[in-house]
Structure 1
Amino acid sequence: MTWHLYTSPRSPFVRKVMIAAHELGLADQITTQDVVTTPMTPAPELLVDNPLGMIPTLMAGERMIFDSLTILEVLNDAAGGALFPAGTRQDCLTRHAMANGMMDKAVRILDEQFRAQNGDTEAHIAGFVAAIKRGISWMEPRLTEGRFDAGDIAFCALLAYLDMRFPKFLWLADAPVAARWYADISTRPCVADTAFQTPPFV
């Protein structure tokens, strides 16, 4: 199989994927395309495949694979690799999550530095809002009645968070399918019993 990977030469998340690809002997099966993408101005060519405009994004034909951990799992499975040893998988994933979280913090430091220099807070917020709305639109045709897997749980938690933190976000009007799905999912005991706390919690 041939894959196409959207990349940036300075992204730690892309570097992680490329290290894995070389380790697994798959690097020569991956074509790469460097893109310049930011929250305010996502790369148009990347938006065609990933509504969040984020890298790395791996294309396997028409199939979009995202984020970096998912890409690692796909490549590892394709190569029959041992990046996620069965006996220590949970420990491996925990260490990966810690490293990934630190990468995210480091990238956010850089982002905050750029924002402080340019004074474009509103543009940043608008870019993030647009990305979330594109993401919800991408999710809508992939929602399935009766299914409730980890992907559904994550999407449910996102929508609940938007309602709690950003009541003026008004995503419901633009996403009727997701709104109906969320209303139905919200009746599940596991969702109702874990509702976000109201003030004084922050």
Structure 2
Amino acid sequence: MKLLTSAASPFVRKVLVTLHETGQIDEVETIDVHNTPLAPHPAVAAANPTGKIPALIRSDAPALYDSRVICRYLDHRAEAGLYPENRIWDTLTLEATADGILDAAVLIIYEERFRPTEKVSMEWIEGQWTKVSRALDALNTRWMSHLNGRMDMGHIAIGCALGYLDFRHDARQWRTGRDALAGWYAGFAERPSMLATAPKA
């Protein structure tokens, strides 16, 4: 299998952490590509018609894309139990919350990076950050019992989302007023899978 990646992508990181945690990292060749929303790499566009990474190219079947699909596939392939049936809806909701954080956080970067300076909307940027902030508050107040339990895909997704906030939005100081979540992340970030996949500019 081949995984189309970008070193800075938090969605790629979710897949890489999953590969590490399920013992499959040596079974996948990673191919780093330069991919932007305005100019997707040809290999990415061929694997995923939306032009987004990550994309997992399989030799015996069509390519898989969207990090949630790929992670679910890898978990199934390894029978790793990252989507436990007895709490599947909570796990999926946490993963969706993490992806919602990432969608908003990445869109802020796109707004600042790909729009002409005179057309950048600070109101729109703050609207995206409000989504992130609400999600972080929900994690800190409603989801700590789950996060403090046995690791599943929700943990991986939230860990990668918080890592991306540190990487691209550190000035926002997301930890302020969210001590429980910050404390959980301090421990989770030290997992070998997280250390091995730390984002690069």
Give the TM bin, normalised by the shorter chain.
Answer: 0.5 to 0.7
How well do the aligned residues superpose, as a CA RMSD in angstroms?
1.7
Q: Deviations over 1:48-80 (max 9, x none)?
A: 222211100001114110110000111001101
SS of 1:13 mapped into structure 2: helix
Q: What secondary structure sits across from 2:40 in the alignment?
A: coil
Distance 1:56 1:119 in 2: 31
- What is the rounded CA distance, in whole Å, between the counterparts of 1:77 and 1:85 in structure 2? 11
C-alpha offsets along residues 101-148 of structure 1, whole Å, 9 cap, x if unaligned? Answer: 001111001000013446689xxxxxxxxxxxxxxxxxxxxxxxxxxx
TM-score normalised by length of structure 2:
0.56
Structure 1 residues 6, 118: closer, same or farther in 2, change over 3 A? farther
Q: Which residue of 2 aligns with 1:53?
A: 51
Alpha-carbon distance between aligned partners in 2 of 1:20 and 1:70, rounded to the nearest angstrom: 12
Letter of the 2:14 partner, please give it.
K
Structure 1 length as normaliser, TM-score? 0.56
Q: What is the aligned partner in structure 2 of residue 111 from structure 1?
A: 110
Secondary structure of the 2:50 match is coil
Equivalent runs, 1:15-30 vs 2, <5 Å? 15-30=13-28
Task: Give the whole-Å Cα distance in 2 for the aligned partners of 1:108 and 1:97.
Answer: 16
Runs of 4+ in 1 over 6 A off after TM superposition: none
Letter in 2 for 1:47: A
Q: Helix, strand or coil for the counterpart of 1:48?
A: helix
Other structure's SS at 1:5 match: strand
Larger Rg: 1
| C-alpha separation in 2, matches of 1:72 and 1:21 | 8
What percentage of residue pairs aligned between the two structures are identical?
38
Structure 1 residues not aligned, in runs of 5+? 122-202
Question: In the aligned structure 2, how far is the partner of 1:120 from the partner of 1:57?
Answer: 31
Please give the secondary structure, in 1, of the residue aligned with 2:63. strand
Number of matched pairs? 119
Question: Alignment partner of 1:42: what SS?
Answer: coil
> In 2, Cα distance between the equivalents of 1:45 and 1:32?
13
